[in-house]
Amino acid sequence: MSGATQFLLVLWKNFLLQVRRPVGTLVELVIPPLAVVVLVGLKFGLFDIENRIFVTFPSDHLTVPLPNNTYQIYYAPNTTNTRKIADCIEKKLPYARVTGVNSDQDIVSALSSVAPPIVLSGSEYDSSECDSLKLPTNTPLGCFIRGAGIYFNNLESDSLEYTLRLRHEVGEDKSWETRDAAPNFQAPGPRITDNFYLSEGFIHLENIVGEAVIRLMANPNMTDCDGGLEHNISVAMRQLPYPQYTVDFFLITAVSILPFLIVLAFIYSAGTFTKELVLEKETRIRESMLMMGLKQWVLWTTWFIKQFIFLCISAFFVALLLKVGGVFPASDFFLLFSFLIVFNISAITFCFFLSVWFNSARIGLLIGFLGWFVNYLPYIFVPGRYQTLSL
């Protein structure tokens, strides 16, 4: 018997076994589209779409709050020009402790040490009091009372370079999150969040140092920080406006719900298909066919094609409902369908992998269900830690 004849005969056998269990076949075809119907029902029953108008933001003047605090500021290197800049900083912050050190490592060591208590109006207070100051946007108006460092890489007029360093702590419930390339959760629309550069005083300090440097460059021989410029510099910062946009709260929820529903939608197919593969091995039908000359590639290819066709039917209706049902109205249908096709191919190969380890159909069914669901669990934990995980 030729390979083509074997292929058609075994493929017919696999389809015949599928048709002989009509209830299971119907469940395999109906559950995936039904799961998407539930998702579409949630969209129209619980979620609304809001069209929000052009968003503008107020201006924030870069005036340092609590200017009479004993701000701890360290700078390096300790030269004549840097001391002039330090004098200008002390003009803006008369109670600041501006200390010159020799190198950037000395700045790090000084900032890493335990900061002394801050004195305001003769009483000690914790640095969290600074966070109680609020901007009009209800964002904490920051200050750098935890300490700051300034390292002047170059003070030449044609290549001016300096570096600002603040302590890494930004409060008990906050973090700079420098390990992440992007937030773990991003809602659509403008990112109206706390600006740490503003709330922690980085921009305020940059403004003070920048003005001092400008005065020094304008008058290199200055002896009084008030000289060098005709007027004081007043700087305000304003967040860029955001155009009109649409907020679909359903899409925010669907990001977490849809993967879980897709896993549940195909869990029955994964379990029953694994059971069929193991049952053929348990009943010795596979060995009998191989003894009669059946080629291995025919055996596995026919199982793959049979299951692929049935899963493609479900995938077609799932993609259609996602498109027409308004879950992904702007997405291309062919792209959605192609994604589900690739997903189904990986599902079939995963069932092949599970089936070779067991000889009992019941155990194969149970492991098919459990293995399919356990395979989804890493998705719950990995995204939030993806940036810090090693290979």
Tell me the pLDDT band of 185, cut-offs 50, 70 and 90. Answer: low
- Cβ pair 242, 189 in contact under 8 A: yes
Q: pLDDT tens for residues 117-134? A: 444 444 443 444 454 444
Q: DSSP string spanning 183-220? A: -SS--SS------HHHHTSHHHHHHHHHHHHHHHHH-T
Q: DSSP string spanning 254-269? A: HHHHHHHHHHHHTHHH
Which whole-number Å values give the CA distances from 376 to 263, 346, 357, 379, in the listed order?
Answer: 7, 13, 20, 6
The full set of domain ranges for the chain reads 3-52+252-388, 59-243
Quote the pLDDT of residue 338. 94
Quote the pLDDT of residue 92. 80
Phi, psi angles (nearest 5°) of residue 170: -130, 30
Tell me the pLDDT band of 258, cut-offs 50, 70 and 90. Answer: confident
> Residue 276 carries which side chain, given as an amino acid letter?
E
> Which alpha helices (DSSP H) does 219-295 contain, by range?
249-265, 267-282, 285-291
Q: How many CB atoms lie under 10 A from the CB of residue 220?
A: 12
Quote the pLDDT of residue 125. 39
In DSSP terms, 237 is beta-bridged to: 60
Q: How far apart are CA 270 and CA 370, in angstroms?
A: 10
Percent of the chain with pLDDT over 90: 21
Q: DSSP string spanning 22-56? A: HHHHHHHHHHHHHHHHHHHHHHHHH--EEEE--B-
Average the pLDDT over 293-306 and give the result. Answer: 89
Instruction: Report the predicted TM-score, pTM, of the whole model to 2 decimal places.
Output: 0.60
Average the pLDDT over 8-35 and give the result. Answer: 88
| DSSP class of 275 | H
Which whole-number Å values give the CA distances from 263 to 92, 227, 323, in the listed order?
Answer: 61, 70, 19
- Cβ pair 31, 268 in contact under 8 A: yes
Which whole-number Å values give the CA distances from 94 to 61, 67, 118, in the listed order?
Answer: 19, 7, 14
Does residue 306 carry a pLDDT above 80? yes
- Report residue 111 as tokens: 């900032």
In DSSP terms, 245 is beta-bridged to: 52
Percentage helix, strand, coil for the chain under 3-state DSSP, each rounded to 5: 55, 10, 35
| Buried b / exposed e along 138-168 (16+ C-beta atoms within 10 A) | ebbbbbbbbbbbbbbeebeeeeeebebbbbe
